[in-house]
């Protein structure tokens, strides 16, 4: 039986480490360089979601019953909705003979559907965990471990009949991505995008602004040939996640903070600002997935885009 670890002993050790110039300098360097390690290359949030969800999709889902409430949703409901989201996306592929680039392949759900429908997918993700998962599940599928904008043109110029960005468009830098799309797509090829866009003054700044996105397309000579608003179809999943955050994550965090204050009041006192920052971060993240805010300030579109 392993000896019980003395938590009291760890605190002086941590303080001693923090006071040592060598370790303090190392901590400062790690903090200063954290931005250089882009989240896209090793996203712990996506890894967590993938480990929790039993399916191989990371999308918002497409619920036919848009009024479905959080407490009535089952895991199977979520899996069906995520599968339906992917099916509606893949349904828009018209060139079934040419390779299809799954740009932002996630856990491989779109790639699997393409294989099942007899098509030739090529996967792309800058995330190491996602690529390892893809190689283990579908070793026959070629892949790029890179950002879309960094696809090498040698061997890939005008290679793809279709490029799919399933909830990965929000990460693309349009000034670089649109020219690259034109370079890797065959003449007459199609870009299929499913993602959310900002349409109002939301505090959450994720996602492209819809009006600006349309302007980018026009300037680059693209046109939207298919557009469906699926905003209300994603709300059930947002209700479900928001409920979990409010009813589980927030109370759990408060429990941990309270236990820290009770068991280690000195440490709690030293970490008061950190605790408040964590509370603020929880509130911010819950606000981002608030279904009412999403409905007011975001639009979730399924799009097919081609050169004008």
* pLDDT tens, position by position, 184-199: 999 999 999 999 999 9
Pick 105 or 47 by higher pLDDT: 105
Whether residue 164 contacts residue 89, with contact meaning beta carbons closer than 8 Å, is answered with yes
Give the number of other CB atoms < 10 A from CB of residue 94: 13
- Cα(169)–Cα(131) distance, rounded to whole angstroms? 18
For the segment 261-271, the average pLDDT, to the nearest whole number, is 83
Mean pLDDT lowest for which of 101-105, 208-212, 290-294?
290-294
For the segment 18-33, the average pLDDT, to the nearest whole number, is 49
- Cα(77)–Cα(68) distance, rounded to whole angstroms? 10
Residue 6 confidence (pLDDT): 47
Mean pLDDT of the chain: 84
Mean pLDDT lowest for which of 102-106, 132-136, 289-293?
289-293
Tell me which residue of 199, 206, 198 sits closest to 172, measured CA to CA.
Answer: 206
Confidence band of 19 (pLDDT split at 50, 70, 90): very low
Extended beta strands in the chain, E state: 100-103, 121-124, 143-144, 160-166, 185-198, 208-209, 222-229, 298-307
Is residue 55 scored above 80 in pLDDT?
no
- Cα(207)–Cα(234) distance, rounded to whole angstroms? 15
Residue 8 confidence (pLDDT): 44
Residue 149 confidence (pLDDT): 95
Extended beta strands in 137-184, E state: 143-144, 160-166
Tell me which residue of 235, 209, 227, 206 sits closest to 295, measured CA to CA.
Answer: 235
Is residue 22 scored above 60 in pLDDT?
no
Residue 249 confidence (pLDDT): 78
List Cβ neighbours of 131 (8 Å cut-off, separation of 6 or more).
Answer: 123, 125, 143, 145
Is residue 10 scored above 70 in pLDDT?
no
For the segment 265-277, the average pLDDT, to the nearest whole number, is 82
Pick 272 or 237 by higher pLDDT: 237
Confidence band of 62 (pLDDT split at 50, 70, 90): very high
For the segment 221-229, the average pLDDT, to the nearest whole number, is 98
- Cα(104)–Cα(191) distance, rounded to whole angstroms? 13
């Amino acid at each position: 039986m392993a000896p019980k670890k003395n938590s009291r002993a760890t605190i002086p050790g941590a303080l001693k480490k923090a006071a040592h110039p060598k370790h303090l300098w190392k901590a400062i360097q790690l903090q200063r360089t954290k931005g250089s390690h882009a989240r896209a290359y090793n996203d712990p949030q996506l890894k967590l979601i993938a480990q929790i969800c039993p399916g191989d999709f990371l999308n918002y889902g497409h619920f036919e019953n848009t009024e479905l409430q959080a407490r009535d949703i089952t895991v199977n409901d979520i899996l069906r909705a995520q599968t339906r989201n992917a099916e509606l996306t893949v349904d828009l592929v018209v060139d079934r003979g040419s390779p299809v680039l799954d740009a932002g392949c996630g856990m491989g759900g779109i790639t699997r559907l393409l294989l099942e429908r007899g098509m030739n997918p090529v996967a792309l993700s800058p995330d190491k965990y996602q690529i390892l998962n893809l190689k283990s599940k579908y070793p026959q599928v070629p892949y790029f471990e890179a950002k879309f904008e960094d696809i090498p043109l040698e061997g890939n110029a005008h290679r793809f009949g279709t490029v799919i960005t399933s909830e990965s468009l929000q990460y693309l830098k349009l000034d670089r991505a649109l020219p690259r799309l034109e370079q890797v797509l065959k003449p007459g090829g199609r870009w299929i995008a499913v993602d959310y866009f900002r349409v109002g003054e939301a505090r959450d700044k994720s996602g492209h602004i819809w009006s600006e996105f349309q302007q980018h397309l026009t300037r680059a000579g693209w046109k939207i040939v298919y557009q469906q608003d699926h905003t209300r179809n994603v709300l059930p999943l947002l209700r479900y996640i928001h409920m979990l955050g409010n009813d589980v994550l927030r109370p759990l965090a408060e429990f941990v903070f309270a236990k820290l204050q009770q068991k280690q009041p000195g440490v709690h006192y030293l970490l008061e600002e950190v605790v408040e920052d964590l509370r603020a971060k929880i509130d911010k993240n819950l606000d981002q997935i608030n279904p009412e805010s999403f409905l007011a300030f975001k639009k979730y579109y399924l799009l097919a885009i081609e050169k004008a």
